[in-house]
Amino acid sequence: MQSLSKKIKERIHEKGLSTHALEKKAGLKPSAVQNILYGRSKNPSVTIIKAIARALGCKITDLIDEDIAQPLTQQTKIPYSSLPNEEKETIDWDQNLYLQCFQEVNILLEQERVIFSREKILEIVEEIYTYSQGNSMKIPDKYFSKWLIEKTKEQLP
């Protein structure tokens, strides 16, 4: 099982990027990627991993540990959030899927007995929707939803 830092290093090498160039392309603060690569950031946020994946042209599941990603790797399409804007416009809005994402988040938050801010809930719902929509799913991806809630919980103070 490869670590996040090793997977990022491999992708950086494949793309011929420097860590500084990746940070800039991903819109991250200086040293954000370096901190992951050198073990100073042992639990990077989903937002940072998502930005790195987008900048490297891969899926989040290509970077996270296989034991977490295994149920997700069955998906073969590029995540919606990684598509160029012109391609996003060709994918129709799925109101039913979006509402199901809200319901899924609500159920998971009740099960976990955790409360997030309205902004955080909207961010989570949007991430689940874009992931599910981009993979042509008609229902929210339950594995991804649970993983995202767990990851967000870990970041609570």
Cα separation, 16 vs 25, in Å, equals 13
The H or E element spanning position 108 is helix 95-112
pLDDT(78) > 50: no
Mean pLDDT of 30-55: 83
In tens, the pLDDT along 18-37 reads 888 888 888 888 888 888 88
pLDDT recorded at residue 38? 83
| Exposure string over 96-111, b if 16+ CB within 10 A, otherwise e | ebbebbbebbeebbee
Cα separation, 45 vs 40, in Å, equals 13
Mean pLDDT of 143-154: 89
pLDDT(87) > 80: no
Mean pLDDT of 87-107: 78
Domains present along the chain, CATH in parentheses: 1-72 (1.10.260.40), 75-157 (no CATH)
Matching residue, tokens 């919980």: 153
Assign 101 to helix, strand or coil: helix
